[in-house]
Amino acid sequence: MIKTLREDFRLAMAILLSSCAILAIAPLAIVRALTGEWLLAALDTAIVLGMGLILYTTLRRGRSTAANLASAGFYTLAALGMTYLNPQPMIYWVYPVAVANFFVLSLRQAIAINVLIMLALTPLAGHFAQQLEFVDMLVSLALVCAFAGVFSWKTEDQRQQLENLAHIDPLTGIGNRRKLFSSLDSQKGKLQQSSNAAVLLMDIDHFKAINDQLGHEAGDNTLQTLTVLLQGRLRAGSDEVFRYGGEEFLILLNNTDLQGACNVAEHLRLTIEEQLEVTASFGCAAYQHGESWDEWIARADQALYEAKRAGRNCVRPAFNTTG
């Protein structure tokens, strides 16, 4: 869960906001009950319970999109409800809510929900002593939304750039080892349920000789050409290729058993031999129920080692260690 929170900024924000809202509103509910403001006290209690429920389900599921929409919708409606009951002081709750929407929802969703908030506030114009006061409130709310929107858009843009830097290999433009593990984690349920996925670990043969004889740039070009070739031969949408190490690539094949994986590897091996000036060795391993990602890849690595030992330019399967 801690890892998910570190990686999912919006989920972390939703959890932080719900926790803060509960801590801030619970004492208000008690004070209002003690001073006899029963309606507001009941509404505060409903908000605390609702936020508590959302917090609990968000923490249990660890997924952001639906939980974030639910929590944003809930606290927005709560703030509007409070404002309708007691417009003058309660309208100040609309400001943090409008800002929070930009950090919990996508930019479009936040803009849409904040426009709806402004529209929902217009019937309250009559509660202000002067019309200008109400216009002031709407304009200041729009300004706060504009600043929060630009800030959250910029933050999201920078977060995306950082994520790309951390996950994409700059030479080949495909995912690196970190991206592989985050991709495996995101498909965890599917992979572990179907137990029908395989990895190919592929290593170029005698790659050092290419660097030594033709230069590092020629070596780089080979890696780029090979990447394009691999991408062109795999099933778009279901297979993924990652740069696992220097001249080592990992191919993740969904809905593929060991025999199918070996067939794909053999096809790739022949294509590389025909079209490039290098050859490659392959180790294949089908996912074995209950094993960790590291154990799965280690079996493919052992099979690759056997392919190298057998003379290179060949494919070797990793047999299951159980059953």
Ligand X SMILES: Nc1nc2c(ncn2[C@@H]2O[C@H](COP(=O)(O)OP(=O)(O)OP(=O)(O)O)[C@@H](O)[C@H]2O)c(=O)[nH]1
Closer of 141 and 204 to ligand X (Cβ): 204
Least Cβ distance, residue 251 to ligand X (angstroms): 17
- Binding footprint of ligand X on the chain (CB under 6 A): 171, 203-208, 211, 216, 219-220, 223, 246-247, 308, 312
Catalytic residue status for 247: yes
Least Cβ distance, residue 226 to ligand X (angstroms): 11
Compute the distance between CA of residue 188 and CA of residue 167 in angstroms, rounded to an integer.
18
Least Cβ distance, residue 312 to ligand X (angstroms): 6
Closer of 98 and 304 to ligand X (Cβ): 304
Least Cβ distance, residue 207 to ligand X (angstroms): 3
Closer of 240 and 247 to ligand X (Cβ): 247
Q: What is the full DSSP assignment across 73-124?
A: HHHHHHHHHHHHHSHHHHGGGHHHHHHHHHHHS-HHHHHHHHHHHHHHHGGG
Pairing of strands 315-318, 280-286: parallel
Strands in 197-204's sheet, in edge-to-edge order, are 239-243, 248-254, 197-204, 280-286, 315-318
Compute the distance between CA of residue 170 and CA of residue 232 in angstroms, rounded to an integer.
19
Bridge partner list, 316: 283
Alpha carbon of 178 to those of 187, 212, 293: distances in Å?
A: 14, 29, 12
Least Cβ distance, residue 283 to ligand X (angstroms): 12
Closer of 239 and 247 to ligand X (Cβ): 247
Closer of 103 and 244 to ligand X (Cβ): 244
**HSE on the CB side for 109, CA within 13 Å?**
17
Closer of 54 and 307 to ligand X (Cβ): 307
> Of 247, 248, 274, 295, which one is the catalytic site residue?
247
Pairing of strands 280-286, 248-254: unpaired
Least Cβ distance, residue 274 to ligand X (angstroms): 19
Query: Phi/psi of residue 215, each to 5°?
Result: 100, 160
Compute the distance between CA of residue 173 and CA of residue 23 in angstroms, rounded to an integer.
46
Pair 252, 274: CB distance under 8 Å: no
Known catalytic residues are 247
